[in-house]
Every structure is written in C-alpha cells, then in structure tokens.
C-alpha cells in the first residue's frame, strides 16, 4: 500500500465514522487500549484491545469453548485496575457447558473474588444486564455468554452495547457459544480454538495454548496467531504469526451490514 492509498483509506474511514456518529478516537492508533503484551497482536490492533468498546468471541467448534472462555478470562485478568468484572451466564449455559469454577479462575490468573456472577434465564436479560454493567463505570470488564445465535444479539442490540461501553469506558465481551453469521457493531471479532501445547520437559501439559483468528477489526488488518498464556505472569506470547496485509477490500471479509 502506498502512502497515497493509506491517506485515502484513512480519509474514507474518517468520513464513515462521522456518518456513523462513532467515536473518532477509536480509529486512531494509540487510543485508549488494553495491550495484550504480545507485540504482533498489539501492532495489528493498534496498541491493544480498544477500551470502551465491544468485542465478540466465539469458539470455532463446541469443543473449543473452554479456550474461548479462557481467553475472555485472561483479558479480564489483564483489564484489572482492581475493579471487579461481571460475568453473565444464562442458566442453560451452565448446564450445557459447566458453571464457572472459582479455583480454576484463580489458577488461570483472575482471582475469584474479583468476579461478580449473574445468572439469567433468557438471552435478552443477559443483554440488558450487560448494558447496565457497561454503563456503570465500576467494572473493568463485562462478559456475557450467549448460547444461541441470532435474534438476541443483532446489529441493533450490539450497537446499544457499543454505546453503553463508550459511556462507561469498560470492556465488553460477547461470548457466543457458536460462531454467528449475524452482523454486529463490535469493534473486533475473534474465532478461537485450542491449540496443542508445547509439552514440558517431562512430557506433561505445557502452557495453555490457543489459536486466535481476528475475523473483524475496525481499526486495521486481520490476523491469525497461536498464542500461549503464562498464568503466573498473566502475559500472552505469540508462537506463530500470520497477519493479513491491510486490505483495501476488507469490507468483503467482514460481515456486511444488513440493509433495512
């Protein structure tokens, strides 16, 4: 991409942002962000995961839900600042995929006393609670699990969440149990799979490893990384990197905004 192309691209993005009425600072590299600590990922994200914004996570298959849950917890553990995080779980999610297990959270790096848990009966309730949580200023991160795709979290609903997150300045994570084709107003979208860990010297399990695919990014290019999590240091490190070039045709890759 030449300098002229880059300038055109940035001008167009600015124009779109103005039409959408969205916060321009979100587009600027180095805006308020949560760095992951893994340089290649942060570079693509423009400094880190945008704060005051909504991000969507989904496992590529039900088997990899553990990895997606883990990634959300790791991000919440890094978001920190001593503020608690709110985890919203529909009743069905707990029976289907297990309830959050306190000692496991502490072991992964998010002390269980920092987590506030909310159980709701319907997905709509989860979205309402998420909006309240994002607006409240008192939470570092709000994570809502959604077991079914479609209806509940459509473009309008996610846009509400984005606005609420911008007011509150916290991080919002929508953790879908399966990948949804639905258009969404989220700033980034991640497809997550667990990856075989590098065994330790005795052949035991290595550090928690997973593959992250960034399939939507409003700030820049997409990418795919295999990452490791050090639960003692609470840091990510990238094992392998595959970053797509900043593509002028990116809208074709990201989900299309639905008309009407």
**Chain residues that interact with other proteins, rule: CB under 8 A:** 63-67, 69-71, 73-74, 81-84, 86, 94-95, 97-108, 111-113, 115-121, 125, 128-129, 132-133, 136-139, 193-197, 199-200, 203-210, 229, 231
What count of Cα atoms within 13 Å lies in the side-chain half-sphere of residue 145?
29
Quote the tokens at residue 203.
């052949």
Distance CA(48)–CA(238), nearest Å, equals 14
Write down the least CB distance from residue 35 to other proteins, Å.
Answer: 20
Write down the least CB distance from residue 185 to other proteins, Å.
Answer: 23
Write down the least CB distance from residue 20 to other proteins, Å.
Answer: 28
Distance CA(44)–CA(77), nearest Å, equals 21
User: Which CB sits closer to other proteins, 85 or 185?
Assistant: 85
What count of Cα atoms within 13 Å lies in the side-chain half-sphere of residue 195?
21
Distance CA(99)–CA(90), nearest Å, equals 10
Write down the least CB distance from residue 89 to other proteins, Å.
Answer: 10
Look at strands 85-90 and 49-50 and give their pairing: unpaired
User: Which CB sits closer to other proteins, 27 or 143?
Assistant: 143
User: Which CB sits closer to other proteins, 28 or 125?
Assistant: 125
Distance CA(155)–CA(111), nearest Å, equals 33
Write down the least CB distance from residue 100 to other proteins, Å.
Answer: 6
- Report whether 172 contacts 54 (CB < 8 A): yes
User: Which CB sits closer to other proteins, 199 or 251?
Assistant: 199
Helix axes 155-168, 123-135, angle to 10 degrees: 20
User: Which CB sits closer to other proteins, 119 or 250?
Assistant: 119
Write down the least CB distance from residue 223 to other proteins, Å.
Answer: 19
Distance CA(202)–CA(225), nearest Å, equals 26
User: Which CB sits closer to other proteins, 99 or 248?
Assistant: 99
């Amino acid at each position: 991409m030449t300098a002229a192309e880059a300038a055109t691209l940035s001008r167009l993005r600015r124009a779109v942002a103005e039409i959408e009425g969205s916060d321009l600072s979100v587009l600027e590299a180095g805006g308020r962000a949560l760095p992951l600590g893994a340089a290649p990922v942060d570079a693509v994200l423009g400094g880190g995961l945008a704060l005051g914004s909504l991000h969507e996570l989904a496992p590529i298959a039900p088997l990899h839900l553990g990895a997606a849950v883990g990634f959300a917890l790791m991000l919440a553990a890094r978001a920190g600042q001593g503020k608690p995080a709110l985890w919203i779980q529909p009743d069905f999610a707990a029976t289907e995929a297990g309830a959050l297990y306190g000692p496991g959270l502490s072991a992964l790096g998010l002390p269980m006393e920092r987590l506030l848990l909310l159980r709701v009966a319907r997905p709509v309730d989860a979205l309402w609670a998420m909006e309240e949580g994002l607006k409240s200023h008192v939470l570092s991160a709000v994570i809502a699990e959604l077991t079914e795709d479609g209806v509940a979290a459509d473009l309008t609903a996610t846009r509400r969440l984005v606005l609420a997150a911008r007011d509150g300045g916290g991080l919002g994570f929508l953790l879908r149990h399966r990948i949804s084709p639905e258009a969404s107003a989220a700033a980034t979208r991640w497809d997550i799979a667990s990856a075989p860990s590098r065994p330790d010297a005795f052949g035991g399990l290595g550090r928690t490893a997973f593959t992250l695919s960034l399939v939507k990014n409003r700030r820049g290019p997409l990418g795919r990384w295999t990452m490791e999590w050090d639960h003692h240091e609470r840091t990510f490190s990238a094992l392998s990197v595959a970053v797509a070039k900043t593509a002028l045709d990116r809208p074709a890759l990201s989900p299309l905004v639905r008309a009407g």
